[in-house]
Amino acid sequence: MLDNSPAAVYYVKKYRGDNMDRFGTILKRLRGASGFSQAEVAARLTALGTPFTDKAVSKWEQGATKPDALTFLRLCELYGVRDPYGVFIDSRADLNALGLQRLKEYSEFLRSDTRFVERAVELAVAPEAEPPRAPKRMIRLYDMPASAGAGVFLDYADFIDIEIDDSVPYDADYALRISGDSMEPTFENGQIVYVRKQETLNLGEIGIFVLNSEVYCKEFGRRGLISHNPEYYPISVSEYDAFYIFGKVVK
């Protein structure tokens, strides 16, 4: 049955009769601009599954025959034609191979700028989503004060919040910057230690103490506070001293 739809009539007017020569001319110029011989085009089409010879390509370019729809689309892909309508219907037949190449380049330039296209289509595969990051661990860092009143050490001492990683025990409640060398070689001057709040210690454990308003990082001994640096004598603690334990050093 003859298709008399407007689209069919338009196709016949454009691609049959006098316009077949124009269609073939454009194919020939596109091939020349792409640097292919007729034999090379035939070989590439044959590799896609349908055998063709250079004579078939020649007949298309002479306007004697026309390729089927699938072959036409493959030719457009081979020649880098992104807009077949614009090239074969709206393009000027008097453009030579160089003109067609410049038309192609300018068309690609326009499509690369979103100001000149109706809708930008993202063809790239979306990157794989990054796994959610664990929330930051923050802890208060205190500078060891020269003195501290009984019971108010952590309430009024200066501190900053610092980020810590998983190497810091999760039971640490605060951090303290060591001042002095009395605990060397265990802890050096300026080193940060991490402390768990608790009011009692076992003998031999290292803790943070306030003794008569002075703050110490020492080992808890049977008769007092012990320094690891042999140049320092143990500090005695009597029942008459104001003595408080502010936690155990866990790292």
CATH of the domain at 158: 2.10.109.10
Provide the residue range defining the domain that includes 230. 137-249
Same domain, 98 and 160: no
User: pLDDT value at position 146?
Assistant: 46
Same domain, 144 and 100: no
Residue 225: is its pLDDT beyond 90?
A: yes
Task: Taking residues 47-69, report their average pLDDT.
Answer: 87
Contacts within 8 Å (CB) and 24+ apart, 143-146? 143/176, 143/177, 143/179, 144/176, 144/177, 144/178, 144/179, 144/215, 144/217, 145/215, 146/214, 146/215
User: pLDDT value at position 5?
Assistant: 43
Same domain, 108 and 155: no
User: pLDDT value at position 6?
Assistant: 46
User: pLDDT value at position 239?
Assistant: 87
Number of domains in the chain: 2
Mean pLDDT rounded to a whole number for the chain: 77
Residue 22 amino acid letter: R
Same domain, 17 and 104: yes
State which of 18-22, 47-51, 97-101, 226-230 shows the largest mean pLDDT: 226-230
pTM over 0.85: no
User: pLDDT value at position 205?
Assistant: 94
Higher pLDDT pick, 231 / 113: 231
User: pLDDT value at position 32?
Assistant: 86
User: pLDDT value at position 123?
Assistant: 42
SS3 207: strand
User: pLDDT value at position 227?
Assistant: 92
Residue 150: is its pLDDT beyond 60?
A: no
Same domain, 10 and 59: yes
